[in-house]
Structure 1
Amino acid sequence: MTDRRNGPGGSHRSTADGDVDAEQISQAADAFFVAMRRARTASAEHDGGLSLAQVALLEPLATEQDMPVGRLASSADVSVPTATRMLQQLEGKGIVVRRRSPEDERRVLVSLTDDGAARLAALRNRLRDRQARAYEAFTPAERALLVTLLHRLTVLVADQDAS
């Protein structure tokens, strides 16, 4: 017996015991990741005109000041030249300040301006509020299961990346 349900990600089929195949899981995961990316991109561009890539680059500066460009690039998974170009744009918008390290003039340190910190905080708060509203659609038991499964999925994906 096959059960067909339509939701935001389309339809899926499951057997009487509720099992689905790998292709269905892949399609559902892909749809979820695309939706998350679109939501984050739209929110980032709405709040302060930041791109998703710029937000990824700035995220570590929310908790640490004066970070070297190389570390920011690494955390955002972009090359140092790409990070440098992005930071030049962000500096032009008054979001970051770049300065030479007093210990080593070859190193450039980056920190958020007060305006940049406020923009990033507003963006993060908006994203969290949207997520909280979305999670209200789930029962407490479903939310607990969702957290457990997302953690497991994260470990599985990270293990595959290491292989």
Structure 2
Amino acid sequence: IYLGTVWNMKFSYDVILICVLIFGYFSSILPVWRFIQPYNYSTVYVVYFGIIAGVIGILIGHKPMTLPAITSWSIGMGPLWPLLFVTIACGAISGWHSLVSSTATSRQLENELDIRPVTAGSMFAEFTIAIIAVIVCATAFADKAAYLEGLKGGPVGMAVSGAQ
């Protein structure tokens, strides 16, 4: 990270594409223990740090939730019923599905009985990240008017500029 602040690294689309393809190639041909386990082992600390920092930030910042629970819903977007629960449980659903159906998970476990704690733990971690994201989004704006003003730039513009 420090090197990125000192050295201006600008890569073209083609260079980034080649790097991603090389990464994908090696991840598909190397054994799990050689490539995926060390990668996952090192990235899990980033996730743990993010969860801990998010919870501490929420507890210390203790900002009020100023947005209403529901602002509006357009039926043109489809029914609210299934989307609401998929949105709430998205991390848990995708995490559970990828762990249960992934061959990498089964090859890393010594015993089949270990799958429940592993998958339940991943669901809990993704649920915690989702709750942190919801709380941050609900407290990011002073009121609904500030939210609507930020939304004028579109969702991407709001994410880039952030709440004032």
The TM-score with structure 1 as length reference comes to 0.28
Return the structure number with greater relative CO, CA threshold 8 A, min gap 6. 2
Instruction: Give the structure with the larger strand fraction.
Output: 1
Instruction: Give the structure with the larger helix fraction.
Output: 2
